[in-house]
């Protein structure tokens, strides 16, 4: 058994809509015969007609308890990730939009190109769409799974959303490749994923969701937001406004060359500077001048406006080193954690430094060992040696704590 139950994604809003959708699915399942839906087949997706109402209603119908429970546990996890970013109102609209699109892409082709026999029901198409949205918005966040092979082999494991998406895509694709392209559960699941992708990209592109620079495109180094430009009638020079996900050259250009337009009339206010550019300029100036307190405030502004993704590695390294010299270890954890998640040569070193802080300054050897476990191979010999040294120290401290607990109990 492999059962998802939660996520490490930041949940900024209580999952009201997710709970409501789960309750609606469960209620309809109980009210429509718990899978014996003969008198309620007008609610499922029938392939002998085109009925937009069924595009939504079929997503709330299920054929059995296992069908319902399996879909709802995944809905809970992906709902936490997505509703946590959108809030219940926009998530509800997104869910209904995905249901409409998934129902349409399933019913219309079957009505037009087949004999119209059969039907479909269940929320799995929408949930696969949510999986596609989650992997674009939060690929590096984990889903927590409980696993049990037998009574003696059970526990929990954390799996990145990107890995889950690749696994399920591969499973469904291989089934389709084996059986051929025909209307089936794997095909409906793949259609669901294809529906979620344009929704996710559209909302990201138009800044309808704030992924704080952790979306798939930002992590891969692509610019996902359009840089807006304002032209002056007297000066034909553009003023670039940087958005979350802007590339570093764009950000630096805006910081160095940003200028205000002259007001066209007395009392007219000039356009405001982009907060990312302002915060980045203050941050780099403070780090260059080694003004620690000012750098901490500026870095907090960068985080507030979700601009840290555009800060280069070396600037964060310099900031972290200054905090080390000032013995500001709690503040130092923040830039190190950003560095540790990047696909760069400094990520493993950042994880080593985080583990040292957890062990030496926070006296938390358990967290130190978890951090060390996240290091990615291959490791250089100096890094591998440092990792072994920290791990030995963490394990020794764990034994001390366990021995102290045993002594107190006796």
The pLDDT tens digits for 91-124 are: 999 999 999 999 999 999 999 988 888 899 999 9
Q: What is the C-alpha separation between 87 and 98, in angstroms, rounded?
A: 16
Tell me the pLDDT tens digit for each residue of 327-367. Answer: 898 899 999 998 888 877 788 889 999 999 999 999 999 99
Both structure tokens of 259? 């200028």
Q: Is the Cβ–Cβ distance between 316 and 338 less than 8 Å?
A: yes
How many percent of the chain have pLDDT more than 70?
A: 86
β-bridge partners, 238: 231
As a whole number, mean pLDDT of residues 141-154 equals 85
Fold of 312-409: 1.25.40
Say which range, 25-34, 91-100, 221-230, 367-376, has the weakest mean pLDDT.
Answer: 221-230
Domain with CATH 1.25.40 in the chain: 312-409
As a whole number, mean pLDDT of residues 113-137 equals 93
Domain with CATH 1.20.1540.10 in the chain: 2-218
Q: Is the pLDDT of residue 324 over 70?
A: yes
Q: What is the C-alpha separation between 337 and 33, in angstroms, rounded?
A: 51
Fold of 2-218: Rhomboid-like fold (1.20.1540)
Say which range, 137-146, 257-266, 269-278, 316-325, has the weakest mean pLDDT.
Answer: 257-266
Q: Is the Cβ–Cβ distance between 196 and 131 less than 8 Å?
A: yes
pLDDT at residue 314 in the model = 82
Radius of gyration of the chain (CA): 26
Q: What average pLDDT is seen over the chain?
A: 83
Q: Is the pLDDT of residue 410 over 70?
A: no
Q: What is the C-alpha separation between 128 and 209, in angstroms, rounded?
A: 19
**pTM strictly above 0.85:** no
Q: What is the end-to-end Cα distance of the chain in Å, rounded?
A: 38
Say which range, 97-106, 211-220, 316-325, has the weakest mean pLDDT.
Answer: 211-220
Q: Sheet of 142-150: strands edge to edge?
A: 2-7, 142-150, 153-160
Q: What is the C-alpha separation between 193 and 190, in angstroms, rounded?
A: 5
Q: What is the C-alpha separation between 123 and 28, in angstroms, rounded?
A: 12
């Amino acid at each position: 058994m492999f059962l998802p139950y939660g996520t490490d994604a930041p949940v900024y809003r209580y999952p009201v809509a997710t709970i409501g959708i789960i309750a609606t699915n469960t209620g309809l399942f109980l009210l429509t015969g718990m899978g014996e839906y003969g008198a309620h087949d007008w609610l499922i997706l029938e392939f002998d007609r085109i009925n937009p109402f069924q595009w939504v209603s079929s997503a709330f119908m299920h054929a059995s308890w296992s069908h319902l429970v399996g879909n709802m546990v995944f809905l809970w996890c992906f709902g936490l990730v997505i509703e946590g970013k959108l809030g219940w109102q926009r998530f509800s609209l997104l869910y209904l939009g995905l249901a409409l699109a998934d129902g349409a892409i399933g019913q219309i082709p079957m009505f037009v190109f087949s004999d119209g026999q059969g039907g479909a029901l269940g929320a799995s198409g929408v949930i696969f769409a949510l999986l596609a949205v989650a992997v674009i918005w939060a690929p590096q966040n984990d889903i927590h799974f409980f696993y049990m092979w037998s009574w003696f082999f059970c526990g929990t494991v954390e799996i990145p959303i990107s890995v889950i998406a690749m696994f399920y895509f591969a499973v469904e694709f291989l089934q389709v490749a084996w059986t051929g392209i025909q209307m089936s559960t794997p095909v409906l699941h793949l259609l669901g994923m294809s529906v979620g992708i344009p929704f996710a990209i559209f909302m990201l592109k138009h800044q309808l969701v704030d992924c704080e620079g952790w979306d798939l495109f930002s992590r891969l180094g692509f610019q996902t937001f359009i840089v807006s430009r304002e032209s002056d009638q007297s000066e034909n020079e553009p003023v670039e406004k940087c958005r979350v996900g802007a590339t570093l050259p764009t950000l630096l250009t805006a910081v160095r060359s940003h200028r205000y337009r002259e007001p066209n009339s007395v009392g007219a206010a000039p356009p405001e500077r982009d907060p990312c550019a302002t915060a980045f300029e203050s941050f780099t100036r403070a780090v260059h001048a080694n003004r620690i307190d000012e750098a901490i405030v500026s870095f907090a502004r960068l985080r507030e406006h979700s601009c840290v993704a555009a800060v280069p590695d070396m600037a964060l390294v310099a900031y972290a080193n200054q905090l080390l010299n000032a013995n500001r270890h709690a503040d130092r954890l923040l830039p190190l954690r950003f560095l540790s998640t990047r696909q760069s040569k400094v990520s493993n070193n950042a994880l080593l430094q985080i583990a040292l802080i957890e062990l030496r300054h926070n006296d938390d050897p358990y967290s130190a060992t978890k951090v060390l476990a996240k290091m990615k191979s291959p490791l250089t010999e100096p890094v591998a040696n440092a990792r072994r040294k920290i791990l030995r120290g963490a394990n020794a401290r764990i034994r001390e704590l366990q021995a102290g607990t045993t002594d107190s109990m006796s």
